[in-house]
Amino acid sequence: MGQITLRGIRKSFSGVDVIHGIDLTIADGELAVFVGPSGCGKSTLLRMIAGLDRPTTGTIEIDGQDVTRTSAAERGLAMVFQSYALYPHMTVRQNLSFGLENTRMPKNDITARVDDAGRMLEIMDLMDRRPTQLSGGQRQRVAIGRAIVRNPTAFLLDEPLSNLDAELRGSMRAELAGLHDRLKTTMIYVTHDQIEAMTLADKIVVLRKGVIEQVDTPLGLYNRPQNLFVAGFIGAPNMNFFNAVAVDGQAELPGGLRVAVPGNGPVTIGIRPQMLHLADPDAPALTGTIRLIEALGAETVVHAAAADGTAMVVVLSGQPALRTGETIRLAFDPDALHVFGADGQRLD
Amino acid sequence: MAGLGDLLGRAVLWPFVLLARLIDLPLRVWQRWTGIGGMAAVFLAPTLLIFGVFVLVPLGLNFAYAMTGGTGILLGERPFVGFEQYGRLLECEDYTRRLTCREDQFWTAVGNTGVFVIFQVTLMVAVSLITALILNRNIRGRGFFRAVFFFPVLLSPVVVGLIWRWILQRQGLLNLIMVNLGLDPQVWLNDRFYAFAATIGVSTWAHMGFYTLILLAGLQAIPRDLYEAAEMDATPPTRVFRRITLPLLAPNLAVVLVLALIRGVQIFDEVYVLTGGGPGTSTLFLTQYIYEAGFASILRNPGLAAAASILMGAVLVVLTLLQLWLSRRAEGGRVR
């Protein structure tokens, strides 16, 4: 079991509120990712779940039991730190067994558990090395191994891949996903990297300024962002936004193209760069002037300025014959539009 | 204002600019002649000159004096006696009884210094470590206490000696307090045991701030994550101290230990002001013996003092090499 429930969690540091009342349930065996920009409170939230920080108000439950005032040691959770937090003067084996020794577990059992974790993470040949003798990826494995040996109720991972280079991050991401599939243990993963969030998560919790903006599956967030922040945060390149005024269920995009929108008054119309394609010559189109072309081979990223000056990005497949300074005419499926009201909330 | 500031700046810099222009041409010529390697010698020369005049020349003179006898001060007036001064210092009929030694005061000073170093260094490391551990915690007034503990380090050793003499002398502050509390006053500085203990206590008080600072820096360099990882692992505080804090502080502790040892062997000024080496010779330490043999005794013997200082120097060289070795070992094992 490993269901974690947060109820009305608030946290203040020196009178400054950083978490403003979080209610959230993470189901047993789920891999939940907390994502958001720097300072959004994701790490603070994780530390409160870990027991390293206490919430100012609210309760934390693990499997229905209130652990708000329970020490970190007694919560049965394991944490993987951003810095790995490996004991530099101990060998890998000593690092892995240190936590188990505190539980007065028999030595043979400790050895068996450490060896199991070592085999699972393919670090058996590193057991006698010290952390300083390991590469970043190897240290990361040891840090995960240290969490695994404790057989915790849930794993808490605080930006565990942020110190790795892009290539290693990609492979470690896949390994973490595989590990979660094998262990079936609840994992809470903190990251500011939306690709990590999208590829790993069963459920993504998008945070901003200490508030949950949206909780959904990765595709749920991508396809139906509930507000402008989530729409802009999830997806790369960022979603294009156009300000317009809706009259009688119609709004005009730069270039004069009219689209159907719910509601009336000021709206923001969003469309993902991948949802735009070159329009037929005579068809109505969203128009702009090309400012920059990034030809990536399989796709071409075009940066353009719409007729009203709004910056927009278009991802076109293949290698279309375009030149900087030209006018680009773009079409899209009306169903791909996201419309947000003046308060930034989704309208449909 | 900018114009005035510019003018002032130019006025201040003018002598340096002039100097730079004056030496520019000779330096260019020198560099063309010797290559870039020769420039290093030019820049090192002033420091080497100072080092030579104030360290190498006195060191050489010390070796020379140690080979001479008599009471004359000028080297030219002193007869060459070879290793006689060393022989005089080290000559004993029975090494277990210092009174059978030709220079029994030297052995008294060696014995006193040895005992002093053992107790003072142990106390120093323990007190500094405990203080650093306390100051490393998030206690109220931490900055104030750090300043308080470091303040004695800023005092001149003579001032330290005088302060504590005023406190510990027969009619000093401590006895005044004791009398007011209805206790019998003690002759702190005239009792062999108390006087020796006072030298240990006072020197520890005077220098512990420095060592505390080194240990505090070491404690603060231990990443907080490690303690949090230990907390998640349900590690008891004593085990955290034994298995995490102490091993990670070991390089700093080693440096503190050796520096305290070196300083302990060299102890002089504050003890000289506090007890003058007394009562009798109970707080006579090696440096004071050297000073008195060379400059303060009626039959001053600079050769004997020089020989004793070279023997003490040899001990300090060993301790310094130990410190270097420990520092390098610590550097090699530091967390990257």
Confidence class for position A2, pLDDT limits 50, 70, 90: confident
Q: For residue B277, is it left (φ>0), alpha (ψ between -120 and 50) or beta?
A: left
| Largest interatomic CA distance in chain A | 79
Neighbouring residues of B188: CB distance < 8 A, sequence distance ≥ 6? B168, B169, B172, B174, B175, B194, B195, B198
Chain A contact for B228 (CB, 8 A cutoff): yes
Phi, psi of A208 (to 5 degrees): -150, 130
pLDDT digits (tens, 9 = 90+) for B56-111: 999 999 999 999 988 888 888 889 999 999 998 988 888 888 888 888 889 999 99
Answer yes or no: are the C-beta atoms of A29 and A213 closer than 8 Å. no
Amino acid B335: pLDDT: 41
CATH H-level superfamily of A237-340: Nucleic acid-binding proteins (2.40.50.140)
Q: Out of A51, A52, A89, name the one closest to residue B247 (CB).
A: A89
What is the rounded distance in angstroms from the CA atom of residue B306 to the CA atom of residue B85?
9
Amino acid B1: pLDDT: 57
Buried-state track B164-173, b at ≥16 Cβ within 10 A, e below 16? bbebbbeebe
User: Which amino acid belongs to residue B255?
Assistant: V
Q: For residue B187, is it left (φ>0), alpha (ψ between -120 and 50) or beta?
A: beta
Mean pLDDT over A293-322 rounds to 93
Chain B contact for A72 (CB, 8 A cutoff): yes
B14, containing H or E segment: helix B2-34
CA B22 to chain centre: 42
Domain boundaries, chain A: 4-230, 237-340
What is the rounded distance in angstroms from the CA atom of residue A260 to the CA atom of residue A247?
10
Identify all chain B residues contacting A78, using CB atoms and an 8 Å cutoff.
Answer: 232
Confidence class for position A69, pLDDT limits 50, 70, 90: very high
Chain A to chain B Cβ contacts (< 8 Å): 63
User: Closest chain B residue to A82 measured between Cα atoms?
Assistant: B225
The CATH code belonging to domain B108-333 is: 1.10.3720.10
The tokens describing B201, both together, are 């206590």
Amino acid B2: pLDDT: 60
Mean pLDDT over A236-252 rounds to 91
Amino acid B333: pLDDT: 52
Residue A71 has pLDDT above 70, yes or no: yes
User: Closest chain B residue to A136 measured between Cα atoms?
Assistant: B336
The tokens describing B80, both together, are 């060459």
Q: Is the dihedral of CA B295, B301, B302, B305 positive or negative?
A: negative
Amino acid B331: pLDDT: 59
- How many angstroms away from the CA of A79 is the closest CA of chain B? 7
- How many angstroms away from the CA of A27 is the closest CA of chain B? 22
Chain B contact for A85 (CB, 8 A cutoff): yes
Mean pLDDT over B223-231 rounds to 93
What is the rounded distance in angstroms from the CA atom of residue B119 to the CA atom of residue B197?
9
What is the rounded distance in angstroms from the CA atom of residue A91 to the CA atom of residue A97?
10
Mean pLDDT over A227-248 rounds to 92
The DSSP string of B119-131 is HHHHHHHHHHHHH
Cβ–Cβ below 8 Å for A73 and B233: yes
Confidence class for position A5, pLDDT limits 50, 70, 90: very high
Residue B330 has pLDDT above 80, yes or no: no
CATH H-level superfamily of A4-230: P-loop containing nucleotide triphosphate hydrolases (3.40.50.300)
Cβ–Cβ below 8 Å for A79 and B234: no
Mean pLDDT over B273-281 rounds to 90
Q: Which residue has the higher pLDDT, B261 or A169?
A: B261
| Mean pLDDT computed over every residue of chain A | 91
Identify all chain A residues contacting B239, using CB atoms and an 8 Å cutoff.
Answer: 102
User: Which amino acid belongs to residue B156?
Assistant: S
User: Closest chain B residue to A51 measured between Cα atoms?
Assistant: B232
pLDDT digits (tens, 9 = 90+) for A77-108: 999 998 999 999 999 999 999 999 988 889 99
Cβ–Cβ below 8 Å for B236 and A102: yes
Mean pLDDT over A57-64 rounds to 94
User: Which amino acid belongs to residue B76?
Assistant: G
Q: Out of B232, B248, B336, name the one closest to residue A72 (CB).
A: B232
Cβ–Cβ below 8 Å for A73 and B229: no
Amino acid A46: pLDDT: 95
Chain A contact for B233 (CB, 8 A cutoff): yes
**Coil, strand or helix at B139:** coil
Amino acid B336: pLDDT: 37
Amino acid B208: pLDDT: 93
Amino acid A336: pLDDT: 92
Residue B226 has pLDDT above 90, yes or no: yes
Identify all chain A residues contacting B234, using CB atoms and an 8 Å cutoff.
Answer: 73-74, 99, 102-103
Going from the C-alpha of B213 to that of each of B114, B252, B323, the distances in angstroms are 26, 10, 18
- How many angstroms away from the CA of A209 is the closest CA of chain B? 24
| Mean pLDDT computed over every residue of chain B | 89
Chain A contact for B240 (CB, 8 A cutoff): no
Buried-state track A219-247, b at ≥16 Cβ within 10 A, e below 16? eebbeebbbbbbbebbbeeebbbbebebe
Q: If DSSP states are collapsed to H, E and C, what string results for A296-344?
A: CCCEEEEEEEECCCCEEEEEEECCCCCCCCCEEEEEECHHHCEEECCCC
The tokens describing B299, both together, are 């039959």
Answer yes or no: are the C-beta atoms of B293 and B300 closer than 8 Å. yes
Q: Which residue has the higher pLDDT, A257 or B310?
A: B310
Residues, chain B, total? 336
- How many angstroms away from the CA of B227 is the closest CA of chain A? 9
Mean pLDDT over A234-257 rounds to 90
Q: Pick the closest to residue A79 from B245, B236, B228, B335 (CA basis).
A: B228
Q: Which residue has the higher pLDDT, A11 or A182?
A: A11
